[in-house]
Amino acid sequence: KIPPKTKNCFTVPADWIKQIDPRLKQRIITETAEQLKKKFAEKRKKEVEKLNERLEKEKITKKQYKEKVWQFDNVMENNIQNTTAKRIEKAHSYSFNLQNYRSSLRDEQIKKWQNAFCDIKIKNGSNIEARYEELLKADDKTALRILASFNSESGLEMDIAREYLSKLEIKNKKLEELEEILKEAQKFPFENLSNLLKVKSEKIKKENGKKYKQITIKLYGRGVILRQEILGEEIKTDGQYKVSTGDFIMSKIDARSGAFGIVPENLDSAIVTSSFPYFEINTDLVKQEFLIAIITKPNFYNQINNMVAGATGRRSVETDDFLSLKIPLPPLEVQQEIVEKIERQKGIIEGAEKISSGLAVDFDVFKNFNKKYISEFAELNPRKNITGLKDNDKVSFVSMEAVSDELGKIINVVEKELQEVKKGYTYFKNDDVVFAKITPCMENGKSALVANLKNGVGFGSTEFHVIRAEKSKALPKYIYYLVRTKYFRDCAKEKMTGASGHKRVPEEFMTNFKYPVPPLETQKQIVARLDKEMETLEKVRELKKQAEDRINKILEEVWGG
């Protein structure tokens, strides 16, 4: 059964997911051949020189000479074909992103596209790769028949049609009509970054005793920041370049993850290596704020991934490749309106974040009470005690990812049969507190008060500590709020053991830490107060999410989504 198509529900044929963009495939074939032929050229030259020498000395015949050269060339050709096949396979990303498959044409434009081919016989019988290759060589009449076979709901096929029509120097009336339909789907014209950015390169000569600022770029458009200050003699990498306030800068390695930004005033004259190309922005065509907003979206990252993934085994993005990419470019006054809309939503987000930080649970609420060891009011990591349940009974399962850092809640519980999870997983019950012991989960506040478990029993990640309150002495929710404080997590961090990147809070810390535990009545008052603050915090976070969703919607509309 196919569900009805709605704004947030759509289906695509499985073939769309299986296919690879023929343009990407052709680029891989061309680049791989060029790369490997260049690599083999020197080897071939040496091999031919050896064969010439042996031929002159009559150690081999002319026939043997030709066979040896043919064998070498054949090996080289097979190598190219095998490497190309591997790179094509590696480049094929099975994505479930809406933008990758569904075209940007609205219903009325789809109808126009289909009506344009009423009197044209469709040329069927081949896949998109074959049709693409045929389209590039076709005359106008054949091109129309091929375009008639393109599915107007397919993002790939419409993008190929758009590219083909835009590159035609001479078009007949029908082809012009088709191009206009596709232009309607794009709210704004697209512009190459090469027309908006000019490469800069100001190499410096390092001076001993002089202090330099080095910068780094945060992912997903989150800004350019200071990495460190360093003396000239401590800089080991040759080739350092000076950037200026207002420069647009990118990371070749992390461009696929949105490592772009504008150099702020406090980093004027900072230095970078050649791995961080930087550019002067043509502000006559594009506003700085608009440029950063529009390229820190998946629509732009997808272009980079399609261009780089597997093409020549490289992961970095070269400057020329980056400048060949396109973005939608409204007029400057429209860019200003878009920026102002985004800034209003950012104001809401920043305000929400300030309120959120002010509402975070502070250890000061707890610190003046009598201190106790956990054994005096709770059980740590209790043993499994499962009674009354059969192996095929369902219980709840909670992975580490199912616990929200920000909300401190379990947001995704799945059900599994008891026999699947009773061995090897952490065990807990309703009203237990789970506390992530591994870094960085613990530092981010990944902990939760367990509730609504199937049959009252739960299992989950082995990276949880479990605290079970003795309810005559401590409220589960009081313990939950206490272990979520930054102070408690900082203390736990100091006692972590294990290898870097996989450190854990040992049970010994949880046992030896002295927890402030007041009488039950005082605990109830503290919990009631914190519950009200958390209720306010939930509303603030919802405001933040709504503002983020509005920004995404604004930019999706600019991209033509």
Longest dimension (CA), the chain: 105
DSSP 448-490: EE--S-GGGEEEE-TTEEEEEE-TTT--HHHHHHHHTSHHHHH
pLDDT in tens, the chain (561 residues): 888 877 667 788 888 888 888 887 888 888 888 888 888 888 889 989 999 999 898 899 999 999 999 999 999 999 999 998 888 887 676 655 555 577 778 788 889 999 999 888 888 767 888 899 999 898 989 999 999 999 888 888 888 898 888 888 788 899 999 988 887 766 677 788 888 999 998 988 888 889 999 998 888 888 899 988 889 888 888 888 999 999 999 988 888 788 889 999 999 999 999 889 999 999 888 998 999 888 877 778 777 776 665 444 446 788 888 888 888 888 888 888 889 999 999 899 888 877 766 656 778 888 889 999 999 999 999 998 888 899 999 999 999 988 988 778 888 889 999 999 988 899 999 999 999 999 888 888 889 999 999 999 999 999 999 999 999 999 999 999 999 988 999 999 999 998 766 789 999 999 999 999 999 999 999 999 988 888 888 888 889 889 988 988 888 888 865
Nearest to 198 by CA among 290, 278, 261: 278
302 is written with which tokens?
A: 């997808």
Q: Which of 256, 276, 166 is nearest to 215 (CA)?
A: 276
CB-CB neighbours of 120 under 10 Å:
14
Q: Is 32 exposed, middle or buried (0-12, 13-18, 19+ CB in 10 A)?
A: buried
Residue 433 phi/psi, 5° resolution? -110, 125
Coil vs helix vs strand at 515: strand
CB-count exposure of residue 337 (10 Å: 0-12, 13-18, 19+) = middle
3-class SS at 410?
Answer: strand
Phi and psi of 211, rounded to 5°? -95, 130
State whether residue 5 is helix, strand or coil. Answer: coil
State the DSSP code for 171. Answer: -
Query: For residues 384 and 423, what is the distance between their CA atoms, to the nearest angstrom?
Result: 10
Beta pairing class for 394-398 and 457-460: parallel
**Which residues are paired to 438 by β-bridges?**
504
pTM for the structure as a whole:
0.54
Give the whole-angstrom CA distance, residue 372 versus residue 509.
Answer: 13
CA count, 13 A, side-chain hemisphere, 175? 20
Render pLDDT for 99-141 as a digit per residue (tens, 0 to 9): 557 777 878 888 999 999 988 888 876 788 889 999 989 898 9
Q: How many CB atoms within 10 Å of residue 133?
A: 13
